[in-house]
Structure 1
C-alpha cells in the first residue's frame, strides 16, 4: 500500500494518437489563459480526434464524433467548451452529461485543470451526494454544469439549474446515455435549453439509438469517425481456458508472472466483486474494490486512491467501464467474461490509454465459448490462447 508507481515510458504510442496532421493548439486561436492551462496539463500537440473536433466545435456546429477510448475525446470537447464560455456572464452556458458519477468527477476535474487561469466556475452534480449542497452552489454563478442526467434533470425541475441561456450540450459516452436508461431526464434537460443550442456527442460506439437521436435533435452535425474498426490498437488480447474453481489460482499466476503497473479486474456481479477482492487480499496482494451499491463517499475515496496509485489492483463491476482514464493501468483481466462486444470493448479499453500498450486477459469457461466466438466475429479480431510466457514488450513499453 502506498508504493510509488514507476514513471510510464511514453516513447512508444500507437498511431491512433500519433497519426496527426501536425497541428498545434495555437493554430485554433484559443484564449491565452486556456492555452496556459493546456500546456500546464502537459498537452503538447492535439491528437487526431482533437484535430478533427476542436475547430469545428469552436465554430458552434453540432458534432458527432466517434473515436477509440483513450485517444483524447475528453479534451476534444472540454477545450471548445472552455473557449466558448464567457466568464463575465454569470449563468450556466454549457451542460456536460456523463453516464456515471466517477466519469462526471473526472471530466469536471479536466475542465477545472484546463480552465485554471480563466475564472470559469465548473460545478459537478451527481446522485448520491446531498441535494442541498448543489442547491446552495447554484445560488452563485456557475458557467459549466457537469453531471449525470438524473441529478441534473432534478435540478432543472426545481428551477435551481437555469439552462435557458445554456448554448452548449455535451454527451460523453453518448451510446450509454442514449441507451434508454436516461430518456426522460435527457428530454427534460433539452427542453430547458434554447432551440439553437450546440450539441456534441462523443463515444467509441454509435448504435441505432445515437443515430435516431441525431436525426431528431441535431442540426446537420459535423460527423467525425476515426474508427474504421471496433478493436483497440495497442491492446494484446488473450484468453485462458479454465474451470470456474480454477479462476482464483489463475489470477494468482497472472499476478506472479506479469509486470503489472496497475490492473482492473472485472466481475459480473456485486457479490463476486466483494468476494474476489477478499480472496486477492488473502493471497497477499493489495487490492481495492468498487461497485454501484457502495456509498458515494466510499466510491470517491476508492477511485481517488486507485488513481493516486495507492494499490495496484482494483476489482469492479461494469461501473468502471466507461471512460475512466488512468494511464498507469496496463493490464485488464475479465475474471468473468462479459456479454456483448460493446461491454468487452469498453472494459479492455481501460488499458492502453492514450496510445500506450496494454494487455487484456479473459478467463473463459465452457459456458463462455459461444460469447467469445461471437465477440471475435463482431469485432473482427482474434483473441488468442494465452502463452506460457507473455512478452513484456507487448504491454510494458
Structure 2
C-alpha cells in the first residue's frame, strides 16, 4: 500500500495534472516554461492557484507577475481570455497586508458584472489565506449594506469607480493606506465616462507611493496623458502582435434585415452550441429579439443596462451556471466576462467600431479554447465590415454551408 504524501509534498495533492495542449492556441501555451513556484509565492496562495486548475503561468502572467511583485507600475496589453485577471490578482494576494483592516489593494472595473466575477476569482485564489477579506462595492446596490461592510476588515476591494468615490467622500472607504491600484479594462475606465472620477480617487484619496497597474486589450490615445501624470516609469507589456484570439474562427453571413431572424434560426439548427451570446446594438432590439428566439422554441435570456440591477444579477448568475443556452445582450456584456462554456458569439447587429467587435468576439475562445464568431451583415454594413477587418488586421470570411465542429467544439 502506497504511503500518504508527506506534508511537504502537498503539491501532489492539489496541483492539476498537465492537460492536453494540442487543442489550445499559443495565446496561452507559448510560455517560457515558468512555474508558479518560481515566484516564491506563499504556500496558501499556491494551493488556491492549483485548486483553480491553473497549471503554469500564461504569457501575460509570466510577464506581469514578477514585475508586479517587485512593486513597479505596469501598462499591460493582452488579449481577452488569456489570463489577465490572474496576472494582477496573484501579486495582490501575495503582497496584501493582513495586519491592517483597511484595503491594501483596490481593483477598479467598469461594470458590476465584471466586479462580481473578479471578486469571485479573488476569493477562490485566496481560499486558504486565513483572514483575508474581499469586498465588492458597485453602484446599483444598497448603500447602507456597503457602509456596514466597511466597518469590518477589508483587504482587497473590487469596485466600480463611482461607488468608490462616493464611499471615500463619505469617509467610509479609506484608501490612504491602499498601496496597490489595478485598473482592469483600462481603456473603458479612461473614457470620459470614468476618467474624472478616477483622477479624483487617485489624487485626493490614495497615497503618493501607490503602485498602479493598467490591464486591457486595447488602449486609447488618452492613456498617454494618464500615464505621464500618474505612473512612475511603468513597465510596458505588449502581447498584442495580433488583436483577435487565435482560437476564434470569424465568419459573416450576408442577409437582408428582414431575414435576420430566419438566418439566426438556421444557425441554431446547424451549429453545435454549448452556450451563445447574441449581440444587438440597442436595448429595444435586445428585448424584441429575445422574445422572437423564445417564440422559435429556444431557451433564451436577455440582459442590458436598463434592467434593474437585481434582475441583471439573476440573469448573469443563471446564464453562468448553465441554466440557459442563449443570451441576447447589449454591449453591457462585452467587458471581461469569462464564461468558458460560451463557444459561439453572434453579432445580430454588426458593431460600429473595431474595438466593440474585438470585445464581443472575445467572449468565445477563452483561455486558448476554440470558438466561433458569426456576424450578420446587411448591405449597409459592408463598408464597416471591410474597415474593421483592416483595423484589426484580421479576416472575416463568408460562412460555409457546413461549419467544421472542430473549429469551435474542442
Shorter-chain TM-score range: over 0.9
Matched residues in 1 for 2:45 and 2:245: separation? 31
User: What SS does structure 2 have at the residue aligned with 1:152?
Assistant: helix
Give the equivalent residue in structure 2 for 1:54: 65
User: What do residues 286-340 of structure 1 show as CA deviations (whole Å, max 9, x unaligned)?
Assistant: 0100000111111111111111111110000000000000011000000000011
Q: Cα distance, 1:231 vs. partner?
A: 2.3
Q: Determine whether 1:135 maps to 2:147.
A: yes
| Alpha-carbon spacing, 1:9–1:349, altered in 2? closer, same or farther (3 Å) | farther
Q: Determine whether 1:254 maps to 2:233.
A: no
User: What SS does structure 2 have at the residue aligned with 1:247?
Assistant: helix
Could you state the TM-score of these two structures normalised by the residue count of structure 1?
Answer: 0.97
Q: Determine whether 1:226 maps to 2:239.
A: yes
Matched residues in 1 for 2:100 and 2:38: separation? 26
Give the equivalent residue in structure 2 for 1:42: 53
Q: Is the 8 A contact 1:10 1:356 kept in 2?
A: no
Could you tell me which of 179, 186, 208 is aligned with 1:174? 186
Q: Cα distance, 1:232 vs. partner?
A: 2.1
Could you tell me which of 351, 375, 384 is aligned with 1:338? 351
Matched residues in 2 for 1:188 and 1:32: separation? 37
Q: Is the 8 A contact 2:21 2:29 kept in 1?
A: no
Matched residues in 1 for 2:55 and 2:111: separation? 29
Q: Cα distance, 1:16 vs. partner?
A: 0.8
Could you state the TM-score of these two structures normalised by the residue count of structure 2?
Answer: 0.94
Structure 2: segments with no counterpart, 5+ residues: 1-18
Q: Is the 8 A contact 2:27 2:245 kept in 1?
A: no
Where does 1:257-336 land on structure 2 (aligned, <5 Å)? 257-336=270-349
Could you tell me which of 123, 135, 138 is aligned with 1:112? 123
Matched residues in 1 for 2:88 and 2:255: separation? 43
User: What SS does structure 2 have at the residue aligned with 1:332?
Assistant: strand
Structure 1: segments with no counterpart, 5+ residues: 1-7
Q: Determine whether 1:394 maps to 2:407.
A: yes
Could you tell me which of 233, 252, 258 is aligned with 1:239? 252
Output the aligned Cα RMSD. Answer: 1.1
User: What do residues 120-146 of structure 1 show as CA deviations (whole Å, max 9, x unaligned)?
Assistant: 111101111011100000011111111
Q: Determine whether 1:351 maps to 2:359.
A: no
Q: How many residues align?
A: 390
Give the equivalent residue in structure 1 for 2:225: 212
User: What do residues 70-124 of structure 1 show as CA deviations (whole Å, max 9, x unaligned)?
Assistant: 0000000000011110212211111100000100000011111101111211110
